Structure 1
Amino acid sequence: MIRPQPLPILKEMHRHSYALRRLSSEIALPDLPAWDGVGDSDLVIRLGAAPPLQDIIAKTSALQVGQDGHCRLHIAGTAAWLIAPDGRTITIEPETDRDAPAIRAFLYGTVFAIAAMRWGLFPLHAACLRFGSGVVAFSGRSGAGKSTLAAMLINRGRAMLADDVTLLDLSGEGAPIALPSFPRVKLWQDALDRMQIDATGLERVTGNIEKFKLPVTDAFCGQPLPLHAIVMIDPEQAHDGRLTRLRPTDLLPWSKDLIYRPGAMRRMGLTHWQMQHMMRLLPLPAYRIGRVAGPDQLDGLVAQLEDVCI
């Protein structure tokens, strides 16, 4: 069993919440909701040295997994991130400005997902929105249109728990519980144009790419809710208005798109854990849709999902 280590004392303190965890950080994390500071931190993010690991059991060009459970992600020219074996401490060694959006982009994605796995949470590559008394996870490979669909549904009055990465708590006996993450959605310039949203003043996700962070504070649902259904988006097909039901065996081939960072899971020795959690998802109602081109295609889809999530 991995024993939690004492958390370090920070030079600067920014307090936020993420997935119902209390987070203290030496760098500002403006995408995350604020935490009032009551209670002890569950996760500490500090600046410091994040050297290459020594006793490596698995690696890629960017990720190292150590024998003792440490994980190190390194993106040349951006930063190195060292995640403690219990997921309670993340050390960042910047190779650019500490407040650069790129540092936060990798932190919010791969690094937070690795920490969440250490907490026992299961990451889906999905946007998560409220329907009825629960949520629907909209998943698909990168570029499938998850965030664009989420933004269109938000414009129709839906509340969002997560964009791109949805964390599930499967520790209970009932339905998986989706946890709230970021009150923002990431959209490409063409999606903003189709929705007639001006990108002026929006922060880019990273570098000079034409992808921006759109705040959705008023539409953010900060409470955990049960996962009622999974919708896989097939970007090779145009949405024809139908919500096609998938059998449990049909969902398995989609798992490489549904699970966030499955390769990192395998390298962390979590293959059996991954399969156990995937099997917990198979009994859930699962559906397939094509890429939704615009808001005019939403009415029928929303009505069908409302019927599913009563």
Structure 2
Amino acid sequence: MEVSFTYYTAFGLTIGSEIALPYLKEVPATAVDLTIKRGHVPVSPPLEPTKVYRSGLNARFAQNDSECFWLDWSPLMTFMAVGGNELILDTEQTDEDLLALFTLSEAIGLILFQKGYFLLHGSAIQLNDKGVVFLGQPGAGKSTTVAAFAQTGIPVLSDDMVCIRLSEGQRPMIIPAFSQIKLWQNAVDGLNLDKTNLAPVREGLTKFSWHESVSFAETAVPLQQIFVLEPPDQAENTPIPVAKSQLPIEFLNHFPLPDSLLTGRLLKEYFEKSSLVADSIPLYKLSRPATFPKLHEFVQQLKASL
């Protein structure tokens, strides 16, 4: 049976996909940088548990070299990323929203890693033609912060995973992902978002996708600043600079893919890329605004300072 592909663009890549990816921008049929298809995934080396969860499932990971990575979401599906240009999905699932949810997360992240991009678990905006990144542990408020900026018309670069292109002697560039912000019910209510612009996300009964009316950046922008969001502190909301020597460890704490991926040569390369970012980009730790009015104040302050 002939396979039908739909063509999209995201993360600076042209993608030909056998499964629907509704949040991506469609493009005419063309040569592709990445093929996403269904198929039988060969037996992997021993799978190891990871820190990665999605829809309540804990992913397991394996690799045989830098060319083949397995990401197993039993009993739903298994992915294999091959050579940075092919993502194979082994599943009997037919729910398009579920397939897109798992594909456009850590699975496509493995492809981006194979292509040599520097990845961080965070969200990013384009402010005055500069990229600002917000890192933080799950629940730190990364998506909520980006949504607060988006409410004021600031373009979004990415939500959940930040993709950075590094070139020798040049400033790091943030590569736009796709137009979507995922928000829990309390953030939707606190930001007073119009629910007619939102759609439920399969990750939780009270999680929603803001997609249609989000201003989205479509071209890469230079990385200007990184914030690590920490628990709210009523007494202190001043950004605290992090020493350049500490940045590689800080970045490692916000690596979005399985930790076991970073061994040997790949770990060395990740630290080298961390150092390149640290050489030119300041990182600050910031107590997350404790209330939504204070979050809006922070938005206005940052807009005025950059």
Q: Scaled by the length of structure 2, what TM-score is found? A: 0.87
Q: Flag the 1:44–1:187 CA change in 2: closer, same or farther, 3 A.
A: same
Q: Which residue of 2 aligns with 1:5?
A: none
- Of residues 81, 91, 116, the one that matches 1:94 is 91
Q: Which residue of 1 aligns with 2:57?
A: none
**TM superposition shift of 1:105:** 2.2
Matched, 1:291 2:255: no
Q: Flag the 1:260–1:279 CA change in 2: closer, same or farther, 3 A.
A: same
Is 1:160–1:221's contact at 8 Å kept on the other side of the alignment? yes
**TM superposition shift of 1:259:** 2.6
Identity %: 23
> Is 281-290 or 203-212 further displaced after alignment?
203-212
Q: Which residue of 1 aligns with 2:52?
A: none
- Mapped partners of 2:135, 2:95: distance in 1: 31
Task: Tell me how many residue pairs correspond in the alignment.
Answer: 295
State the one-letter code of the partner of 1:182.
Answer: F
Is 1:77–1:96's contact at 8 Å kept on the other side of the alignment? no
Q: Which residue of 1 aligns with 2:254?
A: 258
Q: Which residue of 2 aligns with 1:165?
A: 161
The 3-state SS of whatever aligns with 1:282 is: helix
Q: Which residue of 2 aligns with 1:248?
A: 244
The 3-state SS of whatever aligns with 1:106 is: helix
- Of residues 31, 34, 48, the one that matches 1:60 is 48
Q: Which residue of 2 aligns with 1:47?
A: 38
The 3-state SS of whatever aligns with 2:43 is: coil
- Mapped partners of 2:101, 2:163: distance in 1: 17
Is 1:186–1:212's contact at 8 Å kept on the other side of the alignment? yes
**TM superposition shift of 1:203:** 3.6
Alignment of 1:196-215 (within 5 A): 196-199=192-195, 202-215=198-211
Is 1:154–1:219's contact at 8 Å kept on the other side of the alignment? yes
Q: Which residue of 2 aligns with 1:6?
A: none
Q: Which residue of 1 aligns with 2:22?
A: 30
- Mapped partners of 1:159, 1:10: distance in 2: 39
> Is 281-290 or 205-214 further displaced after alignment?
205-214
Q: Which residue of 2 aligns with 1:3?
A: none
- Mapped partners of 1:292, 1:164: distance in 2: 19
**TM superposition shift of 1:160:** 0.7
The 3-state SS of whatever aligns with 2:200 is: coil
> Is 179-188 or 73-82 further displaced after alignment?
73-82
Is 1:204–1:213's contact at 8 Å kept on the other side of the alignment? yes
Alignment of 1:1-310 (within 5 A): 11-37=3-29, 39-53=30-44, 56=45, 59-61=47-49, 62-67=60-65, 69-84=67-82, 86-101=83-98, 103-199=99-195, 202-215=198-211, 217-235=213-231, 237-238=233-234, 240-261=236-257, 263-267=259-263, 269-283=265-279, 284-298=281-295, 300-302=297-299, 304-306=301-303, 309=306
Cα deviation per residue 1:232-282 (whole Å; 9 max; x = unaligned)? 101254584422222223434432333322615315851011100111122
Q: Flag the 1:168–1:158 CA change in 2: closer, same or farther, 3 A.
A: same
- Mapped partners of 2:100, 2:72: distance in 1: 13
Structure 2 residue runs of 5 or longer lacking an equivalent are 50-59
- Mapped partners of 1:255, 1:212: distance in 2: 28
Q: Scaled by the length of structure 1, what TM-score is found? A: 0.86
- Mapped partners of 1:288, 1:100: distance in 2: 35
Cα deviation per residue 1:21-48 (whole Å; 9 max; x = unaligned)? 10011111001122233x4111111111
Q: Which residue of 2 aligns with 1:4?
A: none
Is 1:184–1:217's contact at 8 Å kept on the other side of the alignment? no
- Mapped partners of 2:174, 2:114: distance in 1: 17
**TM superposition shift of 1:231:** 0.6
CA RMSD after TM alignment = 2.5
State the one-letter code of the partner of 1:33.
Answer: K
State the one-letter code of the partner of 1:52.
Answer: V
Q: Flag the 1:299–1:192 CA change in 2: closer, same or farther, 3 A.
A: closer
- Mapped partners of 1:253, 1:134: distance in 2: 24
Is 2:233–2:290's contact at 8 Å kept on the other side of the alignment? no
Is 2:197–2:213's contact at 8 Å kept on the other side of the alignment? no
Is 2:198–2:210's contact at 8 Å kept on the other side of the alignment? yes
